[in-house]
């Protein structure tokens, strides 16, 4: 049965993430230091960052947590750096101190704080029960993984995912982020739940119940509030309103637009980020490119036409682990890429969703997300005036690709001639999962440890 495949996929991801988390030292996902600090602030009831005069935005963090993080700060971006058993054991002995020290973490100031709720709850429980910082951190990892897995199960119970969706989740980059205490896996799971609820609503002949529509809108705001490139998902309640001539859906679309614009306008106004000298304020850069849109598209073309940058985007979409310093071999990337292409071919021959309005909404959201990724990094991370768009990573495109992958139809029951396609899909999904986990195991052991088995 198809649902069995979905269930096995979630359980496989869960097991793989636990295994990969065991192999990976703490805080080796990009910006994971800041994500945990932001979760700690939320656990203490602080929703927004502080911005002291003349300084970058941040907040007061327990010195025990800072000491624990310092044990692993020598690893990121230094491919030759290793960690020993002695270092790991010493870090495990660090306890919460109760002393607060100001830390800057401006990159998280644009994220709606409730996305950090799983980590915040886990850190609170660990500190309250008197556990070490190490146990509390690992609890945060488990809470993120558990919440994300439950959201995935809920999504796959509502609407069966295509094999292409599962294949994207089985890529090394997605599996690695699922093992971390960042917001990536929860964000990915929220998106798939949004897609599932939307397709389910659009399939039904009657107007959707208001509570379900409100729930969908809340999920869209929560996701767009931490992933700006998912803001085009506001199209979903709009198309629901168009199809069913449902005024409540149109109203929620309007509320979502205002809420998302307000949140990011507010976040930009209260967050001071000094990590990159842009040469102008973010608002000034936004106004410049809004007034000169062709300049943005010129920069987009320059960025994508650069062969080295394009190859990096592909590799970092498939999987560049750690702080973007754990690469696979060219052969590994080729196998991953070809496997995805085969699963894509099998999805194409089985057909896509036979609903033009749903296809329009999902495709437009994905396309809009693609452009917003580049635009947001242009105005927040690229010095102005720009010669190319900097800071773009392939992993940012997982959510738009999942939107596109959801365009392919999956029948809960299959007839004879489609059964062969389903069997082929299952075979390639198994091969992809095993190959991803095997490749990640070798790469992570080689990258982080002095000797295998530590």
Summarize pLDDT for 404-435 with one digit per residue, the tens.
Answer: 999 997 765 555 567 788 889 999 999 999 99
Q: What are phi and psi of 83, to 5 degrees?
A: -130, 145
Higher pLDDT, 181 or 282: 181
CB contact set of 219 (below 8 Å; sequence gap of 6+): 190, 193, 194, 197
Dihedral (CA of 302, 307, 312, 318) sign: positive
Cα 390 from chain centroid? 19
Banded pLDDT at 354 (limits 50, 70, 90): confident
Q: Out of 2-16, 173-187, 394-408, which region has the weakest mean confidence (pLDDT)? A: 2-16
Task: Say what percent of the chain tops pLDDT 90.
Answer: 84
Is residue 285 over pLDDT 60?
A: yes
**Both tokens assigned to 262:** 């307000």
Q: Are 25 and 88 in contact (CB under 8 A)?
A: yes
Q: Are 243 and 203 in contact (CB under 8 A)?
A: no
Q: What pLDDT is recorded for position 1?
A: 41
Q: What pLDDT is recorded for position 415?
A: 59
Residue 99: is it exposed, middle or buried by C-beta count within 10 angstroms (0-12/13-18/19+)?
A: exposed
Q: Are 8 and 168 in contact (CB under 8 A)?
A: no
- Residue 49: asked if its preceding bond is cis (omega within 30°), the reply is no
Is residue 120 over pLDDT 50?
A: yes
Q: What pLDDT is recorded for position 454?
A: 42
Q: Are 192 and 335 in contact (CB under 8 A)?
A: no
Q: Are 140 and 118 in contact (CB under 8 A)?
A: yes
Q: What pLDDT is recorded for position 114?
A: 96
Is residue 312 over pLDDT 90?
A: yes
Residue range 261-269: mean pLDDT, rounded: 93
Q: Are 57 and 273 in contact (CB under 8 A)?
A: yes
Task: Say what percent of the chain tops pLDDT 70.
Answer: 97
- Looking up tokens 């199809």 gives 243
Is residue 2 over pLDDT 50?
A: no
CA distances from 236 to 154, 184, 200, 353 (A): 19, 22, 12, 15
Q: What pLDDT is recorded for position 452?
A: 44
Q: Is the pTM of this model over 0.85?
A: yes
Q: What are phi and psi of 230, to 5 degrees?
A: -95, 5
User: Helix, strand or coil for residue 243?
Assistant: helix
Banded pLDDT at 450 (limits 50, 70, 90): low
Summary mean pLDDT of the chain: 93
Is residue 451 over pLDDT 70?
A: no
Q: What pLDDT is recorded for position 10?
A: 97
Task: Please count the other Cβ atoms lying within 10 Å of the Cβ belonging to residue 49.
Answer: 23
Residue range 109-115: mean pLDDT, rounded: 95
Q: Across-strand partners of 60? A: 102
Tens of pLDDT along 31-75? 999 999 999 999 999 999 999 888 889 999 999 999 999 999 999
Q: What pLDDT is recorded for position 3?
A: 45
**Both tokens assigned to 397:** 């495109």
Q: Are 236 and 365 in contact (CB under 8 A)?
A: yes
């Amino acid at each position: 049965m198809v649902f069995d495949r979905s269930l096995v996929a979630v359980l496989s991801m869960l097991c793989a993430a636990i295994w990969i988390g065991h192999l990976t030292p703490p805080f080796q996902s990009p910006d994971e230091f800041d994500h945990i600090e932001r979760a700690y602030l939320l656990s203490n009831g602080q929703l927004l960052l502080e911005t002291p005069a003349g300084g970058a935005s941040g907040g007061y963090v327990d010195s025990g947590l800072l000491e624990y993080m310092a044990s692993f700060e020598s690893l990121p971006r230094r491919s030759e750096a290793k960690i020993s058993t002695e270092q790991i054991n010493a870090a495990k002995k660090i306890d919460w101190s109760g002393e607060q020290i100001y830390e800057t973490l401006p990159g998280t100031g644009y994220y709606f704080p409730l996305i950090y709720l799983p980590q915040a709850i886990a850190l609170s429980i660990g500190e309250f029960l008197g556990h070490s910082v190490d146990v509390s951190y690992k609890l945060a990892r488990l809470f993120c993984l558990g919440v994300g897995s439950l959201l995935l199960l809920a999504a796959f119970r509502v609407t069966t995912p295509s094999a292409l969706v599962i294949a994207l989740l089985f890529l090394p980059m997605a599996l690695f982020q699922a093992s971390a205490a960042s917001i990536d896996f929860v964000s990915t799971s929220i998106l798939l739940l949004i897609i599932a609820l939307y397709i389910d609503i659009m399939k039904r002949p009657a107007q959707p119940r208001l509570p379900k529509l409100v729930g969908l809108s809340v999920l869209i705001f929560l996701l767009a509030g931490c992933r700006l490139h998912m803001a085009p998902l506001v199209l979903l309640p709009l198309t629901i309103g168009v199809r069913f001539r449902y005024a409540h859906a149109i109203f929620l679309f309007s509320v979502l637009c205002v809420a998302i614009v307000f949140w990011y306008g507010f976040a930009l106004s209260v967050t001071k980020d000094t990590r990159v000298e842009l040469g102008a304020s973010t608002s000034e850069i936004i106004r410049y490119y809004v007034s000169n849109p062709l300049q943005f598209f010129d920069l987009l073309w320059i960025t994508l036409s650069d062969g080295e940058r394009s190859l990096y985007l592909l590799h970092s979409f498939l999987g560049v682990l750690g702080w973007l310093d754990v690469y696979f071999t060219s052969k590994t990337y080729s196998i991953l890429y070809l496997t995805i292409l085969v699963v894509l071919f099998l999805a194409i021959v089985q057909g896509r969703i036979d609903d033009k309005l749903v296809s329009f909404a999902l495709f437009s959201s994905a396309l809009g997300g693609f452009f917003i990724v580049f635009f947001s990094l242009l105005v927040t991370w690229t010095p102005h005036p720009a010669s190319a768009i900097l800071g773009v990573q392939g992993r940012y495109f997982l959510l738009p690709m999942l939107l596109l992958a959801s365009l392919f139809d999956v029948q809960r029951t299959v007839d004879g001639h489609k059964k062969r396609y389903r069997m082929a899909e299952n075979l390639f999904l198994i091969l992809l999962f095993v190959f991803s986990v095997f490749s990640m195991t070798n790469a992570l052991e080689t990258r982080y440890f002095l000797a295998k088995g530590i």
